[in-house]
Amino acid sequence: MKKYFLFFIFISQIFFHAPESRADVSVQAAIDPSRASLEDELTLTVTVSGSMQATEPSLPSMAAFKVIPSGTSTSFQIINGQVGSQKAYSYILIPTQEGHFNMGGVSVFLNGKEYTSNPLEVTISKSPHVPSGKPAQQPDQVPTDEDAQTYLDRTQRNMADLKPYWIEAGLTNKNPFVNEQILYTFKFYTLVNVGQAQLSLPEFKDFWSEEVVPEKKYYTTLSGQKYVVSEKIIALLPLRSGDLSIPETSLRVEVPDQRADSFFNDPFFRMGRLNMRPKNLVAPALDLKIKPWPEPQPPDFSNLVGEFSLKTSLSSENISMDDSATLTLEVTGKGNIKDAKLVLPETLDDFKIYDDKPALDVTHAEDGLQGKKVFKVALVPQREGVFQIPPFSLSVLDPKTGNYVPLTGSPFTLHVKGGSASSVLPIQRPGSDRSILVSNEDLAPIHDEWGRAKAKELSRQFLLFLFFIPAFLVLFVYVFQKRKKYLEAHENEYRTRKALAVFKKSMRKAASLSDLRERQACHLEAVRTYVRNRMGLEQIGLTLQEMMRFLETKSIRQDKKAEFEKILLGFEKTCYGGHVPQKTELDQWAPRLTKLIEQIDKKL
Amino acid sequence: MKPYYLIFLLILFSGSLFADTPDPLFIQANKAYISKNYEEAFQAYETLIKKGEAGAFVYGNAANSAYYLDRMGLALLYSKKALMRAPRDADLRANHYFILQHTHATNNTSLNIESVIEKTFFWSSYLTGHELWLVTLSAYFLLCLFVILFLVFRKNILKKGFFFSFILFLLCLSGLLTNLLFLYNPQDHYIVEKQVPVYPSFVSSEPSDVLADGTKVRVKVKHGMGEGDQWLFIHYGNGKKGWLRSVQALPINL
C-alpha cells in the first residue's frame, strides 16, 4: 500500500507541479554541425523546456536548406524535488547553397506569449568533393564533343586527388540532332565501404529515355588509389531542337563517419560495425543544344538518325495468282531504331499490299540502343505477268556529317502465273477458304461469329457434387453385398437373434385380423416360428408336445410352463376343435402369451 | 420412345435454337478493326468483355487489336483467354502462338517439370476446363459402374473393365490437374504494362528488375486493402522473386 501511495505522490508531483514550471519556459535551438559542406546533412534540434503545452516550433526562413522533420522526444526530470519537462523537436537540414547564414531564432507560443530561442548560425562550404575546375559543366558554356569525351577523364583526375567518394553525371554529346542517340552516364566513385544509397535521377523532360545499363560495378585506379565505380547508363533521344537542360542528379548515401570525436567510436567498441552518416552528393545540371534536322528533308526520310543499313529479300520470285509473295525489309543499326518507318512505293498498282506489324529486336549495350526492325509486306498479285518490284529505299540522317544518306534495297522481278485472282476476306467466315493473311507471318483474321460468344457451363460446385454420387452408390452396394454375405453365412444365428422381434411382429399382424379362427391360427404359427427360430430348427409345423419339450430343456418355472401349455392348447382347440372361447378369455391370451415369450426369451 | 428422341434433339440443338443475335457493339468493333482503327476496336471489345458477354471470339478479336496497338501483354492475355474458351479453334491457337513468338518478354516462369507435364498431357490443352471436368466425370462414372457391377456379379471380365476404366480415369484426372495447375493456373498473370519495375519489397524505392509487357509471372501473395491498389509478390524467370503493383499484371484464368 505504501508503494502505491509513493507512486501516486510521484505522479501528482509531475502533473500538479507542471503549471508552476510554465513560468520558466525556455527554447533552445542548435544546429549540428555548425560548419558543414553542401554534401552534409545537418540536424536542427529545438528543445522547449518547462512546458508541454507550447505550440510546435515556428522555424525562421531557411531558403538555403531543405527541411525534413524527423520526430520529437519528451523527457521528465526531478532535480532536488523540482520537476522539469522537456520536449525536443528534430529536423534534418539539407543545404542547397553555400555561404554563411545568420538565421533568426525559433519561436514557440504558450498562452499567447511568444518564446524565442537563440539565433541560428551555420556556415556551408562548397562541396569538398567537387573539383575547382568543371570545364564541361558550366551552365553558360556549351561544350564541344571533344569536351564531352574528355570530361570524364579530367574530372576523374582532379577528383581522385581530393576525396574518397563522389558522383558525376555526363553526356556523350551535348550538341546532338533531334532523335540522335546520346548516352547519359552516372558514376559513383568510392574508396570506402558505403551503406544504403538512394539515387534520384533527374526527370528527362523533352527526351525519350531508356536504361541501357541498369547498374555496373567495376574497379578503376586513379592516382594510385583503387576505386569502386558504380555506373548507370541511360540512352536519351532529344524530342525537340533548341536549348535543353537535364536537372542535377543526387545520391543520398551512408558513408563512414570519420569524425573521431568519441573514444567509443572506435570500431573495437562497435563490434566491428562502422558508424555511418548520410551524405547528399550532387552532380550539377547538364545543358545541351539540340540541332534540328537539316532542310530539305528527303521524302523517304525515315526519322532515323544514326548508323543504319538496309537489307531486302523476296520470299519467292515465281508465284501463282492464288498465292502471295512476302517482301522483307530489315533495317539494322545503332540509334533510334524503334522510330523507323516504312514508306511504301506508289508504283505497285498491280498488287494488293498488306503490311504486317513490324518486328522489333532491340538490344541494350553499353554503347546504346541497337538492333533491327523488320518490315514484312505481303504482295498479292491482281493479274498474271512479269512485274518489276522497284527497290525500296529510305533515308537516314548521319549525325557525323549532318547529311541524309539514302539506303536502298535490291530490285526484284516477280513472275505471276495462272489461277484466278482471290480476294482476301478481312474477316474469316465459316467455311470460307483460308486467306493469304493466315500464315506464319501475320495474325489470323478476326471472327465475326457471335453465337459462340457466350459460354454456358455447369458450376464447379455442382461438378464436384457429381463426383460424390457414384462414390456413395459404390459404398452402398458394397455395404449391402457385405451384409447379404454375412447373413448367408450366419442364418441360424440371425434367426435366433431376431426370433423375439419376428414373434412380436407376427402377433401384431394377427391382432389386425378380424376372423377369430384365423387370428388364433396366426398366434399359434407365431409361437411355432419363435420356437423354431430360437432352437435353430429347420423343421416346420411343430406340435404342442414338441414345443413343450423345448421348454423342458430350459430352466423355466413350472407355473409358466403350465400357463404356456394352457394358452397354446386353447389356440389349438379354437383352430382345430371348433371350440369357441369366451371373449374376455380370448382378449387375455394374446398379451399374456407375448409376456410369457418375453420372459422365456430372457431366460434363454 | 418418340418423346425421348425429341427431348434429345432439343437438348442437342438448344444452342442453335436460342442463339443470341450479335451485340451491335461487336459489329461496330469488327468494322473498326477492318478499317484498321484498332484503338476503337479494342475499346469496344474490352467493353464487351467487361459486360461479361464475351466468349472466345471477342477475346480473340481483342487480342488481335491489342497486338496491332503494340500492347503485347494484353494481346497475350486475351489470346490465352480466347484459347481457354475455344481451345480447338485453329485460328485462335495460331494467333496465340504467333503473339507469343513476337513478344520480347521471357515467359519461362514454368519450372522444367511443369513444361514436361504440359507436354506429356498436351491433349488437355485441346479441351476447355469445363470439357475436361465433364470427361473426367464421365470416366469416373464408368469406373464406379464397373466397381458396382463387379461387386454385384463378381465376373472376371468386369475386372478388366474396371482396370481399363481406372486407367482412363487417371488419364483424364491428370489432364484436368494439368489444366488447373499449369496451363491455366489461377496464380498465373501476364504483365500488361510496358517496362514494369519489380521491387525487392513493397517498401523499396529502388527496383531490382524491370519486366517487359507479356511476361508471365506467378502471384504468390497479394498485399493491400483494395482490389485496385494491391501489391503482388511474384515468382518469375527461374526462381526470381519480387513485388509489383496489381494494376500492372492481370490474371489469366478469371
Handedness of CA A489, A495, A496, A501 (dihedral sign): positive
The backbone region for A179, taken as left when phi is positive above 0, alpha when psi lies in -120 to 50, beta otherwise, is: left
- Claim to verify: residue B14 and residue B65 sit in the same structural domain: yes
- A441: which 3 cell numbers? 507471318
Chain B nearest CA to A482, separation (Å): 9
What's the CA gap between A215 and A362, in Å, rounded?
Answer: 19
pLDDT at B141 over 90: yes
Chain A nearest CA to B106, separation (Å): 14
Query: Which amino acid is located at A246 in the chain?
Result: I
pLDDT one-digit tens code per residue, A348-388: 677 777 777 777 888 888 888 888 888 887 787 777 888 87
- How many whole angstroms from its chain centre is CA B236? 19
What's the CA gap between A270 and A266, in Å, rounded?
Answer: 7
For residue B30, list chain A residues with Cβ-Cβ distance below 8 A.
427, 446, 448
- Claim to verify: residue B234 and residue B177 sit in the same structural domain: no
H/E stretch holding A511 reads helix A491-511
What's the CA gap between A580 and A560, in Å, rounded?
Answer: 24
Whether B197 maps to a domain, the answer reads yes
- With cut-offs at 50, 70 and 90, classify the pLDDT of residue A597: confident
Q: How many other CB atoms are found less than 10 A from the CB of residue A27?
A: 21
pLDDT attached to residue B4: 58
Does B18 lie at the interface with A, CB-CB under 8 angstroms? no
Whether B109 maps to a domain, the answer reads no
Residue (of A88, A93, A118) closest to A104 by Cα position: A118
What is the extent of the structural domain holding B25? 3-103
What's the CA gap between A147 and A137, in Å, rounded?
Answer: 10
Does B39 lie at the interface with A, CB-CB under 8 angstroms? no
What's the CA gap between A174 and A244, in Å, rounded?
Answer: 10
Whether B108 maps to a domain, the answer reads no
- Second-level CATH architecture of A303-419: Sandwich (2.60)
Of B163, B183, B203, which residue sits at a domain end? B183
Q: Looking at A1-10, A40-49, A124-133, A428-437, which range is the least confident one? A: A428-437
Whether B27 maps to a domain, the answer reads yes
H/E stretch holding A599 reads helix A583-603
Pick the CATH number of A2-125 from 2.60.40.10, 2.60.120.560, 3.10.28.10, 3.30.110.40: 2.60.40.10
Chain A nearest CA to B193, separation (Å): 15
Of B74, B103, B132, which residue sits at a domain end? B103
pLDDT attached to residue A437: 38
Does A448 lie at the interface with B, CB-CB under 8 angstroms? yes
What's the CA gap between A159 and A39, in Å, rounded?
Answer: 15
Contacts of residue A250, Cβ cutoff 8 Å, sequence gap at least 6: A199, A200, A280, A281, A282, A283
Whether B17 maps to a domain, the answer reads yes
pLDDT attached to residue A92: 84
Does A214 lie at the interface with B, CB-CB under 8 angstroms? yes
pLDDT at A498 over 60: yes
Choose among B16, B53, B143: nearest Cβ to A454: B53
Choose among B34, B137, B144: nearest Cβ to A427: B34
Q: Looking at A7-16, A579-588, B144-153, which range is the least confident one? A: A7-16
For residue B92, list chain A residues with Cβ-Cβ distance below 8 A.
444
Of B162, B183, B204, which residue sits at a domain end? B183
Q: What is the spatial order of strands in the sheet that A65-79 belongs to?
A: A26-32, A42-49, A82-95, A65-79
Whether B112 maps to a domain, the answer reads no
The vertex-A159 CA angle with A158 and A160, nearest 5°, equals 95
In chain B, the N- to C-terminal Cα span, in Å, equals 43
Chain B nearest CA to A273, separation (Å): 24
For residue A427, list chain B residues with Cβ-Cβ distance below 8 A.
30, 34
Q: Domain segments of chain A: what residues? A: 2-125, 136-290, 303-419, 491-603
Q: Describe the crossing of helices B129-153 and A460-489 by its angle, rounded to 10 degrees.
A: 10
According to CATH, the topology of domain A491-603 is Four Helix Bundle (Hemerythrin (Met), subunit A) (1.20.120)
For residue B57, list chain A residues with Cβ-Cβ distance below 8 A.
446-450, 452-453
**The domains spanning A303-419 and A491-603 adopt the same CATH topology:** no
Does B121 lie at the interface with A, CB-CB under 8 angstroms? no
pLDDT at B144 over 50: yes
Does B86 lie at the interface with A, CB-CB under 8 angstroms? yes
Residue A533, Cβ density class (10 Å: 0-12 exposed, 13-18 middle, ≥19 buried) = buried
- With cut-offs at 50, 70 and 90, classify the pLDDT of residue A268: low
**Span B220-235, average pLDDT:** 75
The domain tally of chain B equals: 3
Residue (of A352, A554, A559) closest to A436 by Cα position: A352
Q: Do B21 and A450 touch (CB under 8 A)?
A: yes
Does B11 lie at the interface with A, CB-CB under 8 angstroms? no
Q: Do B53 and A211 touch (CB under 8 A)?
A: no
Chain B nearest CA to A450, separation (Å): 5
